[in-house]
């Protein structure tokens, strides 16, 4: 049952109480130290050692005196001797409480039979020297008492910290009101303690700077995906590095988008036969494109990934080259064969002959034909970077990899060549996502998709499917990006569903106001119950009145998100939100970030002569020849002339309508377009 909401009392006994607590802590530590740290003879002489006067005299020329009770060992017909540590042992059941000691077996073997305690008054200085050197290991009284004082102070600080932890919730309620509904802001002490089932653990800064701390992601929530969002340098890559180390420790595989090349340095393993999919890197294998296309759906997926939709462009201008490329891929060509086709428009026409896609390359639709060929040339620029097939280099195909799922896959790039490599990365990622939905040899171990800097990739048509449906196939996806606007620009309305799917959301510093507000709304709002106090001044004193207020406010303000320090953030799981401070995970440079591949500039292919235009009819030939030699403006053509049908309309004719069925309506006024010809290719 929660405590009643009330204002915190300001008791005058606050400081005396804590002084008493400090004294109690000291005496507790003193008792423990006296019981377990001192030897039996040290305990016997400690009071005498403590009561010795130091630095004082009792009179002129007379030194201070002190009394001591010496412990001596006795035996018949032998002179008593002062006992040493090896002569005595503790005797808890001794009948003499003033001397709870007994002879040790060694002393008994030497012929001693008993212990006695005798009082003696001696010089204080001499007694202090004898006790310090003979029984207290040459330690002064102040040095001896320093140990219980320090331990008492440590105990007092521990009590204060525990009290602050316990009072943290109530102190927050006193300042901000009591939460009645909405998400709960929890501490790292209580978060997921019952969820330690072998899931991913995110290392946090040690509690009190000493105790190790971590945030476990339950294994049952791993396949529900992880989202990381924050500005550059806020800590996203640091958290992703921790996730990858956990994946490697568990022996699972990962597909990593690594545009900066920092993850390949630590996690690439040549003995594991990992892949580096960067055509400019020496470690990049040859792509076996012909084995990728085994059904019509695969060719459509490759074409859609390589030719993404463009902003402010009609779907037709993207769909046309996609259909042509998909049709070419259905012939299952190699990369070199596909490049040869793209270099020869006549060859493309020949392979599309008799198919519905042939209409996209109609010679009468010049802008449309040119746009399709230009898009194919852009794809050819990317494919030309791939290394040629070589057994020494090895081969990569997603079908074979998807059946084994043991090697890691890294997709790296250089900023200068990133735009040319993007179509390849998009196609590979989409194919890998599709392969995850097929049977494999080892279905027990999941494969992680770790996509850092997601906005650096083209729109991945299959990523929406991976985030919304791959939970059925136990395929975890880790999405890292800087702001919500980046995803909205790439994926449009689909971005909303992609952002809402991950069960674990990690938010770092976000300076963009719109993104920070969205993070605040995602963390949730709470309903709080506040106690309001009002005071009415009166002649003698004032009158206090109290009222209860219910208000709604954000759990975390947008300004708090924008002001976070590096490595600090919030983790949201379900209805719980936890503020965290991640531990710094240094980069381990075990492998080279990039190994340049020696590339040769390919010689331009010989282009066959263009296909001749169909021959004109005789009347058309006469008209054309006459147009070449005679200026029609100066000639009056009779109505019965055979050229009348082919001659251009007179200048007095106001509008002209094109005859091509593939062009949109275009009206001209004396040769000047009145409306933009939308059939022109927009690239």
Give the residues across from 216 on adjacent strands: 201
Distance CA 654, CA 74 (A): 141
Residue of higher predicted confidence among 78 and 12: 78
Query: Which residue intervals of 415-550 are DSSP H helices?
Result: 418-435, 463-469, 484-491, 494-500, 513-523
Query: Which residue intervals of 283-333 are DSSP H helices?
Result: 296-306, 316-329
Tokens 């971005």, residue located: 495
Distance CA 477, CA 480 (A): 10
Give the residues across from 505 on adjacent strands: 227, 572
Distance CA 614, CA 608 (A): 18
Find all residues with CB under 8 Å of 570, minimum gap 6, and list them. Answer: 506, 507, 519, 523, 556, 561, 577, 578, 579, 580
Phi first, then psi: what are they for 647, rounded to 5°?
-70, 150
Residue of higher predicted confidence among 638 and 560: 560
State the average pLDDT for the chain. 81
Lowest-pLDDT choice from 40-44, 167-171, 473-477: 167-171
35: helix, strand or coil: helix
Among 61-70, 387-396, 627-636, the range with the most confident prediction by mean pLDDT is: 387-396
pLDDT of residue 661: 39
Under the banding of pLDDT at 50, 70 and 90, the label for residue 427 is very high
pLDDT of residue 637: 39
pLDDT of residue 195: 56
Give the residues across from 118 on adjacent strands: 70
Distance CA 593, CA 410 (A): 11
pLDDT at 657 over 60: no
Find all residues with CB under 8 Å of 74, minimum gap 6, and list them. Answer: 80, 112, 113, 114, 115, 116
Phi first, then psi: what are they for 619, rounded to 5°?
-65, -35
Residue of higher predicted confidence among 310 and 40: 40
Under the banding of pLDDT at 50, 70 and 90, the label for residue 190 is low
Distance CA 54, CA 128 (A): 9
Distance CA 470, CA 480 (A): 18
Distance CA 480, CA 482 (A): 7
The domain ranges of the chain are 38-55+62-139
Token readout for 333 is 């060509």
pLDDT at 376 over 70: yes
Query: Which residue intervals of 330-407 are DSSP H helices?
Result: 335-342, 345-352, 366-383, 398-404
pLDDT of residue 302: 93
Q: Dihedral through CA 386, CA 391, CA 393, CA 399, nearest 10?
A: 70
Under the banding of pLDDT at 50, 70 and 90, the label for residue 644 is very low
Mean pLDDT across the stretch 632-657?
40
pTM for this model (two decimals): 0.69
Mean pLDDT across the stretch 401-413?
92
Q: How far is CA 19 from CA 13, 16, 52, 306, 569, in A?
A: 10, 5, 28, 73, 38
Lowest-pLDDT choice from 210-224, 294-308, 362-376, 669-683: 669-683
Under the banding of pLDDT at 50, 70 and 90, the label for residue 192 is low
- Tens of pLDDT, residues 230-246: 999 999 999 999 999 99
577: helix, strand or coil: strand
576: helix, strand or coil: strand
Cβ count within 10 A of residue 125:
15
Give the residues across from 572 on adjacent strands: 505, 577
253: helix, strand or coil: strand
- Tens of pLDDT, residues 560-584: 999 999 999 999 998 999 999 999 9
Lowest-pLDDT choice from 97-101, 131-135, 217-221, 630-634: 630-634
CA angle, corner 460, sides to 384 and 405, nearest 5?
A: 80
Distance CA 647, CA 341 (A): 40
pLDDT at 626 over 50: no
pLDDT at 519 over 80: yes
pLDDT of residue 52: 86
Residue of higher predicted confidence among 473 and 223: 223
Token readout for 494 is 């689909």
- Tens of pLDDT, residues 272-312: 999 999 999 999 999 999 889 888 789 999 999 999 887 77
pLDDT at 502 over 90: yes
Mean pLDDT across the stretch 481-488?
88
pLDDT at 202 over 80: yes
Mean pLDDT across the stretch 451-456?
91
């Amino acid at each position: 049952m929660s405590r009643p909401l009330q204002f915190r009392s300001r008791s005058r006994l606050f400081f005396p109480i804590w002084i008493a607590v400090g004294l109690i802590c000291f005496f507790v530590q003193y008792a423990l130290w006296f019981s377990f740290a001192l030897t039996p003879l040290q305990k016997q002489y400690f009071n005498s050692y403590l009561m010795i006067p130091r630095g004082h005299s009792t009179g002129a020329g007379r030194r201070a005196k002190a009394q001591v009770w010496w412990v001596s060992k006795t035996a018949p017909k032998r002179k008593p001797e002062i006992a040493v540590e090896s002569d005595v042992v503790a005797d808890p059941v001794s009948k003499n409480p003033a001397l709870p000691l007994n002879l040790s077996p060694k002393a008994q073997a030497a012929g001693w039979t008993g212990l006695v305690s005798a009082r003696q008054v001696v010089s204080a200085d001499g007694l202090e020297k004898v006790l310090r050197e003979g029984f207290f290991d040459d330690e002064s009284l102040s040095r001896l008492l320093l140990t219980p004082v320090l331990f008492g102070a440590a105990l007092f600080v521990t009590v204060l910290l525990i009290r602050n932890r316990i009072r943290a919730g109530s102190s927050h309620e006193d300042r901000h009101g009591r939460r009645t509904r909405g998400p709960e802001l929890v501490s790292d002490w209580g978060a997921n303690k019952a969820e330690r089932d072998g899931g991913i653990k995110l290392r946090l800064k040690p509690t009190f700077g000493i105790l190790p701390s971590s945030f476990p992601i339950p294994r049952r929530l791993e396949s529900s995906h992880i989202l990381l969002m924050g500005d550059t340098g806020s800590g996203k890559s640091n958290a992703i590095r921790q996730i990858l180390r956990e994946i490697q420790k568990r022996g699972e595989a990962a597909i990593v988008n690594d545009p900066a090349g920092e993850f390949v340095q630590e996690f690439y393993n040549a003995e594991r036969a990992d892949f580096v999919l960067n055509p400019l890197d020496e470690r990049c294998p040859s792509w076996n494109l012909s084995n990728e296309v085994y059904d019509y759906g695969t060719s459509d997926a490759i074409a859609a990934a390589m030719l993404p939709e463009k902003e402010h462009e009609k779907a037709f201008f993207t769909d046309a080259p996609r259909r042509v490329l998909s049709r070419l891929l259905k012939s299952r060509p190699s990369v070199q064969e596909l490049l040869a086709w793209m270099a020869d428009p006549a060859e493309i026409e020949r392979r599309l002959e008799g198919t519905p896609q042939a209409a996209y390359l109609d010679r009468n639709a010049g802008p449309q034909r040119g746009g399709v060929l230009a898009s194919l040339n852009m794809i050819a620029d990317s494919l030309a970077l791939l290394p040629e097939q070589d057994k020494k280099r090895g081969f990569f195909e997603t079908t074979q990899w998807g059946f084994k799922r043991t090697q890691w896959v890294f997709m790296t790039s250089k900023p200068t060549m990133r735009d040319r490599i993007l179509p390849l990365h998009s196609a590979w990622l989409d194919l890998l996502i599709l392969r995850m939905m097929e049977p494999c040899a080892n279905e027990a171990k999941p494969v992680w998709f770790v996509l850092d800097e997601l906005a650096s990739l083209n729109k991945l048509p299959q990523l929406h499917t991976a985030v919304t449906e791959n939970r059925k196939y136990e395929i975890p996806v880790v999405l890292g990006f800087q702001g919500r606007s980046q995803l909205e620009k790439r994926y449009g309305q689909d971005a909303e569903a992609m952002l809402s799917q991950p069960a674990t959301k990690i938010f770092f510093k976000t300076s963009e106001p719109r993104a920070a507000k969205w993070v605040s709304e995602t963390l949730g709002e709470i309903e709080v119950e506040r106690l309001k106090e009002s005071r009415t001044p009166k002649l003698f004193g004032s009158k206090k009145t109290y009222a209860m207020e219910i208000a709604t406010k954000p759990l975390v303000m947008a300004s708090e998100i924008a002001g976070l320090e590096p490595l600090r953030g919030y983790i949201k799981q379900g209805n719980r939100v936890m503020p965290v401070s991640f531990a710094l995970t240094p980069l381990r440079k075990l492998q080279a970030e990039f190994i340049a591949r020696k590339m040769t500039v390919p010689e331009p292919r010989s282009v066959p002569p263009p296909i001749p235009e169909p021959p004109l009819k005789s009347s058309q030939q006469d008209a054309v020849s006459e147009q070449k030699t005679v200026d029609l403006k100066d000639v009056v053509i009779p109505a019965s002339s055979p050229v009348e049908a082919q001659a251009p309309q007179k200048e007095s004719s106001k509008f002209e309508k094109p005859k091509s069925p593939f062009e949109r309506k275009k009206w001209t006024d004396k040769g000047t377009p009145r409306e933009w010809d939308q059939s022109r290719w927009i690239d």
